[in-house]
Amino acid sequence: MKNIHIANTELDVSEISLGCMRISEMTNPAISRLIHTALDEGVTFFDHADVYGGGQSEAKFAESIDMTPSLREKMMLQSKCGIRQGSFDFSKEHILEAVNGSLKRLRTDYLDVLLLHRPDALVEPEEVAEAFTILHDSGKVKYFGVSNQNPMQIELLTKFVKQRIVFNQLQLSITNTGMIDAGINVNMENDPSINRDGSILDYCRLKEITIQPWSPFQYGFFEGVFLDNEKFPELNLIINEMAASKGVANTAIAIAWILRHPARMQPIVGTTNPERLKDICKASDLTLTRQEWYKIYLAAGNQLP
């Protein structure tokens, strides 16, 4: 597994991260096997959120491996906060309370990364700044980021927050390419030319913010996976042909397509199957050509102007 350096930090992270949203439904032995498989494959970065499984995903993660200081040193833990039932909450009080809860459930003294989980329309950036400073100065959180935020939302935060925003978690897959489409279809009058996110991809590159693509195998908004799906015959034909020629699984091709982008993203994969995770990790050893990348992009139903 290759590592990537996160700009403006001391973090060198596995270029593929394991998302832990669904592990609350698993047994502890199954979770332990998944985590240790990840570590054996070189995946050292684990993505959590306080709302995953109502907190059980974090708790069972630590329980299943009997978290110890020596084991904690082998991994980087990221969690997210800000989603509450029926609302979003970036208040100072909630951020501090949420982090303390995550630390307790994960059986650790610190998070490597804390993300604000989706935008809060009622955000008061001064309160976020106070919370981040308390968490950073106390050693409870090393680095900070956001999820699903556009450039102006990040600019608003950075006007007040002393710490750098180093991650932005955004939806991206071969079939969810809005942030790429708008950049290709500049000065066009077609639907892909509509800039729905403020050029977030280019903004993150300019500001050295690492994008973490979530749901890299999903189409739509959690509508299902596109791999081996009869709704995407041409796409699967191309991916399967490419996978066969390279001796890897189709999941590796889907992740290699994301890794090929020069933004040096860190995709988050949410598989709970250790064998599938091994297949996915082979993407780290692949580098698609420019022609292969565009061939997949066009097979997903996109057009070039």
Alpha helix ranges (H) inside the chain: 28-40, 56-65, 69-72, 92-106, 125-137, 151-160, 178-184, 200-206, 233-246, 250-259, 274-281, 290-299
Based on the residue annotation, tell me whether 52 is a catalytic residue of this protein: yes
Domains of the chain: 3-299 (3.20.20.100)
| Predicted local distance difference test score (pLDDT) of residue 222 | 86
**Residue 209 confidence (pLDDT):** 98
Residue 2 has pLDDT above 90, yes or no: yes
pLDDT tens-place string over residues 103-149: 999 999 999 999 999 999 999 999 999 999 999 999 999 999 999 99
Query: What is the rounded average pLDDT of the residues 278-297?
Result: 98
Alpha-carbon gap, residue 54 to 32, rounded angstroms: 20
State the greatest distance between any 2 C-alpha atoms of the chain, in Å, as a whole number: 56
Question: How much is the pLDDT for 16?
Answer: 98
pLDDT tens track for 79-106: 999 999 999 999 999 999 999 999 999 9
pLDDT digits 0-9 by tens, 195-243: 999 999 999 999 999 999 999 999 998 899 999 999 999 999 999 999 9
